[in-house]
Amino acid sequence: MKNFRLAIINTGAANIHSVAKAVRVVGGEPVVTTDSKTIASSHAAILPGVGANDAVMKQLNDLKLPTTIREFATSGKPLLCVCLGMQILFEKSEEGELPGLNVLQGEVVRLPEAIAESTGRPLKIPHMGWNTVRFRDEAVPRHPIFTGIPQNAHFYFVHSYHCSVADPDDVAAVSPHGIDVCAAVVRGNVVGTQFHPEKSGRTGLSIYERFLDFAQSTV
């Protein structure tokens, strides 16, 4: 769509460029930015992140972006948050001392030591590699960006901490890793994935493609 503006918020994380590349592959023309006015004036935004809570929150605080992101989240415009980008939506994290954005209620906690039911062996932390994702269709309506994805589709994860979500209705999907790990959240215009769509093959790319389509349909 002509004049459609999509911002990728530069958190300083290592996956910024791979996210931007994935969006371009599916036809988007994102602007990677730390400018609050550019973000606020965009029709949609993506908040990526990998690494540690405090490193990313310090970057955002130094740039005075938390208020901009919170206002965007309440604006009704589509916001997609990936991996650590999803985790910092919450109030706080055991991983660090700096508070999160408090867009969603809950906290980020370390994955528990657990035993794989299939092998009886300890599950590794970090949770790294491909795993299945089950959408909670019985409880939470599918967001348009997840339309058409089959139950138990495989996505790529890299994380040692997970979101303990206060409101179960915010949890759109789960993935098994000893417990049902929150794999995706949805609240209104805000969507988050613990997995990396940009590392998840064609199925992952379809999420960015549908996010673009959905965002453009709201303009």
Q: Which of 83, 95, 143, 177 is catalytic?
A: 83
Instruction: Output the six-digit token pair for 46.
Output: 């993506």
Q: Which member of 127, 143, 159, 196 is catalytic? A: 196
Rounded percentage of the chain residues whose pLDDT exceeds 90: 83
In this prediction, residue 156 has a pLDDT band, given cuts at 50, 70 and 90, of very high
pTM score: 0.94
Region of poorest pLDDT, from 44-48, 112-116, 152-156: 112-116
Angle between helices 16-25 and 201-217 (to 10 degrees): 70
* Neighbour tally for 163: CB within 10 Å: 25
Predicted pLDDT at 51: 86
pLDDT at 149 over 90: yes
Active site residue 143: no
Percent of the chain with pLDDT over 70: 96
Q: Which two tokens stand for residue 22?
A: 């994935």
- Is residue 83 annotated as part of the catalytic site, yes or no? yes
Q: Domains of the chain: which residue ranges?
A: 6-217
Homologous superfamily in CATH for domain 6-217: Class I glutamine amidotransferase (GATase) domain (3.40.50.880)
pLDDT band per the 50, 70, 90 thresholds, residue 169: very high
pLDDT tens column, 80-114: 999 999 999 999 999 999 999 999 999 999 998 87
Catalytic residue chosen out of the listed positions 143, 163, 177, 198 = 198
Residue 70 has pLDDT above 90, yes or no: yes
The model's pLDDT over 123-147, given as tens digits with 9 standing for 90+, comes to 888 999 999 999 998 888 899 999 9
Q: Is the pLDDT of residue 118 over 70?
A: no
Q: Give the span between the Cα atoms of 193 and 113, in whole angstroms.
A: 22
